[in-house]
């Protein structure tokens, strides 16, 4: 049976008090609507329609071609939002998931279980429900004698008896597609909010003798709909715990989960160890047997197996197998380190590649450079890549030695096996196996230091006498 999906993402989210459109607020580094659409895709929905309204362009820009879009120009309720999809899905046969774009904790496993119950029972609709000790603010699930769902009552329309019910509507549904759109034609706005509720479809289907089921999730976190910053923080906490648990069960050692942050799209190989204070985000991929941290910040990086990153910041960089980084290094966009490379303390690298076995041990800047194999770059060496207008490339061949406090003024090439003497400023290319020195010859003036001291002392005495 064909599976379809509708993601409701048109609400303005006034309670967020933010310039950022609500469903684009991130949870563990990924916008809420991205979490929802990912879950929908994992249960093999053939078409996914996102209903957009406020901030439509921003949502479409983020999701791109991963979904189709329908605009809800006026926000007249969830039923009205789903009805806007009729031109796209109204003639389809199959089942349709309806999920709110601000429920980032809903999982693939729960959606699959919801669909399975819906299919087995032959229901016209199946509601995802949760049980809360304090259900205030949520629509209540009212079940009949045979435990089927009879209706859903919104909080503002609850009687005292309804309000005492602890089973709530999560806002996620599975419908027979044809029956969904037929029932939507009968929904009115005769309620406290004067909106067209999608929940009214449930009552309409019951009145028509259709079966309506409810699937009670055992994880109430999946019911969290984020409407303000407090709920956003709560969702972040649940998601973070879920992510850390997944990695630990997958063979990753996390020394202190309470002080470790791992984003939703991060991949980490088995037997890697993550030390406290580490932040790993974006689409970072970390191999097996790596040591990360303490206090490492890694964003959108690829770190190969057996690498070590300690107390450093990496952004859009690649770290080769067996390479060590840090402490206190900064690898910026475009950095690519080969195998067995060493990058030490207070080294910054940007848009540069270092081939296997090369070393930049401390206090250096390597930018816009191509460094060969087994190159040693001494303390304080700099590739001078920017002249105020343009950036230029420095190339260093295999087995070259760059001494301490060397300035390589790009564009410049240092050949294979070349040796650049400490303190040199290199403005011309150095051939293979040549030695380059570019500094003034040292001159020692006998006894002159005493004359300088005597002159300084006399000047100070004159100032005191005047």
Residue 227 annotated as lining a ligand binding site: yes
Residue 338, pLDDT > 90, answer: yes
Burial of 331 (0-12, 13-18, 19+ CB in 10 A): buried
Residue 153 has φ and ψ, to the nearest 5°, of: -110, 120
Residue 42 has φ and ψ, to the nearest 5°, of: -70, -15
Contacts of 169 (CB under 8 A, 6+ apart): 127, 128, 129, 138, 139, 140, 141, 152, 199
Residue 22 annotated as lining a ligand binding site: yes
pLDDT of residue 34: 97
Q: What is the pLDDT averaged over residues 35-55?
A: 95
Range of lowest pLDDT (97-111, 178-192, 417-431): 178-192
Residue 74, pLDDT > 80, answer: yes
Range of lowest pLDDT (67-81, 103-117, 185-199, 290-304): 185-199
Q: Which long-range contacts (CB under 8 A, 24 or more apart) does 226-230 make?
A: 226/22, 226/25, 226/27, 226/32, 226/102, 226/103, 226/104, 227/13, 227/15, 227/16, 227/22, 227/102, 228/15, 228/16, 228/17, 229/16, 229/17
- Nearest Cα to Cα of residue 52 among 33, 29, 26, 38: 33
**CATH fold of the domain at 246-436:** UDP N-Acetylglucosamine Acyltransferase; domain 1 (2.160.10)
Q: Which two tokens stand for residue 142?
A: 């009212």
- Nearest Cα to Cα of residue 402 among 391, 415, 387: 415
Residue 139 annotated as lining a ligand binding site: yes
Residue 71 annotated as lining a ligand binding site: no
- The domain spans of the chain are 3-223, 246-436
pLDDT of residue 16: 93
Residue 405 annotated as lining a ligand binding site: no
Q: Which two tokens stand for residue 239?
A: 């998601």
Distance CA(240)–CA(28), nearest Å, equals 6
pLDDT of residue 136: 85
Mean pLDDT, rounded, of the chain? 95
Distance CA(60)–CA(82), nearest Å, equals 18
216-266 confidence digits (pLDDT tens): 999 989 989 999 999 999 999 999 999 999 999 999 999 999 999 999 999
Residue 154, pLDDT > 90, answer: no
pLDDT of residue 424: 97
Q: At 440, is the pLDDT very low, low, confident or very high (cuts 50, 70, 90)? A: confident
- Nearest Cα to Cα of residue 46 among 71, 24, 67: 67
Which are the catalytic amino acids? 362
Residue 77 annotated as lining a ligand binding site: yes
Distance CA(212)–CA(127), nearest Å, equals 8
Contacts of 404 (CB under 8 A, 6+ apart): 378, 379, 380, 381, 422, 423
Residue 169 annotated as lining a ligand binding site: yes
Residue 183 annotated as lining a ligand binding site: no
Q: In percent, how much of the chain has pLDDT > 70? A: 100
Q: In percent, how much of the chain has pLDDT > 90? A: 87
Asked whether the domain spanning 246-436 has the same topology as the one spanning 3-223, the reply is no
pLDDT of residue 324: 98
Q: Is 380 helix (H, G, I), strand (E, B) or coil?
A: coil
- First-to-last C-alpha distance (Å) of the chain: 102
Distance CA(252)–CA(259), nearest Å, equals 15
pLDDT of residue 280: 98
Residue 154 annotated as lining a ligand binding site: yes
pTM of the full predicted structure?
0.89
Is the link from the previous residue into 294 a cis peptide, with omega within 30 of 0? yes
Q: What is the pLDDT averaged over residues 283-306?
A: 98
CA dihedral 233, 18, 282, 245 (to 10 degrees): 10
Distance CA(248)–CA(299), nearest Å, equals 20
12-22 confidence digits (pLDDT tens): 888 999 999 99
Q: Classify domain 3-223 by CATH architecture.
A: Alpha-Beta Complex (3.90)
Q: Which residues pair with 142 in a beta bridge?
A: 151
Q: Are 167 and 140 in contact (CB under 8 A)?
A: yes
| DSSP strand pairing (369-371 vs 394-396) | parallel
Distance CA(74)–CA(83), nearest Å, equals 12
Q: Is 359 helix (H, G, I), strand (E, B) or coil?
A: strand
Residue 9 annotated as lining a ligand binding site: yes
pLDDT of residue 190: 85
């Amino acid at each position: 049976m064909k599976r379809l999906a509708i993601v409701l993402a048109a609400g303005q989210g006034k309670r967020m008090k933010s310039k950022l459109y609500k469903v684009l607020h991130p949870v563990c580094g990924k916008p809420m609507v991205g979490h929802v659409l990912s879950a929908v895709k994992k249960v093999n929905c053939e078409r996914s329609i996102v209903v957009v309204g406020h901030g439509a362009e921003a949502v479409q820009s983020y999701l791109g071609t991963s979904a189709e879009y329908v605009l809800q120009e006026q926000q007249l309720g969830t039923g009205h939002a789903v009805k806007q999809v009729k031109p796209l899905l109204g003639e389809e046969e199959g089942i349709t998931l309806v999920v709110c774009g601000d429920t980032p904790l809903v999982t693939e496993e729960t959606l699959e279980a919801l669909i399975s119950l819906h299919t087995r029972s032959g229901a016209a609709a199946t509601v995802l429900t949760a049980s809360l000790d304090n259900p205030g603010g949520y629509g209540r699930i009212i079940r009949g004698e045979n435990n089927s769902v009879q209706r859903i009552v919104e909080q503002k329309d609850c009687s005292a008896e309804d309000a005492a019910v602890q089973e709530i509507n999560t806002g996620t549904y599975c419908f027979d597609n044809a029956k969904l759109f037929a029932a939507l034609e009968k929904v009115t706005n005769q309620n406290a909010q004067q909106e067209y509720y999608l929940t009214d479809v449930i009552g309409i289907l019951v009145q028509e003798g259709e079966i309506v089921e409810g699937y009670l999730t055992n994880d109430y976190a999946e019911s969290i709909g984020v409407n303000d910053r407090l709920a956003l923080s709560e969702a972040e906490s649940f998601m973070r715990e879920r992510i850390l648990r997944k990695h630990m069960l997958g063979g990753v050692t996390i020394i202190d989960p309470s002080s470790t942050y791992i984003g939703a799209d991060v991949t980490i190989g088995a037997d890697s160890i993550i030390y406290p204070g580490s932040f790993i985000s974006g689409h970072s991929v970390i191999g097996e047997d790596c040591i990360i941290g303490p206090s490492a910040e890694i964003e959108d990086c690829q770190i190969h197996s057996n690498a070590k990153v300690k107390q450093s910041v990496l952004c859009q960089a690649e770290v080769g197998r067996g390479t060590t980084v840090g402490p206190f290094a900064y690898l910026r966009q475009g950095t690519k380190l080969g195998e067995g490379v060493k990058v030490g303390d207070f080294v910054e690298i940007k848009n540069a590649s270092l081939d296997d076995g090369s070393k930049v041990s401390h206090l250096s800047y390597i930018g816009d450079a191509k460094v060969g194999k087994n190159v040693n770059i001494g303390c304080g060496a700099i590739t001078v890549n920017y002249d105020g207008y343009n950036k230029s490339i420095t190339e260093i061949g295999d087995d070259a030695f760059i001494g301490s406090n060397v300035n390589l003024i790009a564009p410049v090439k240092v050949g294979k096996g070349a040796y650049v003497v400490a303190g040199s400023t290199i403005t011309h290319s150095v051939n293979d196996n040549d030695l380059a020195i570019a500094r003034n010859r040292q001159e020692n003036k006998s006894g002159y230091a005493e004359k300088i001291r005597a002159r300084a002392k006399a000047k100070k005495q004159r100032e005191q006498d005047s």
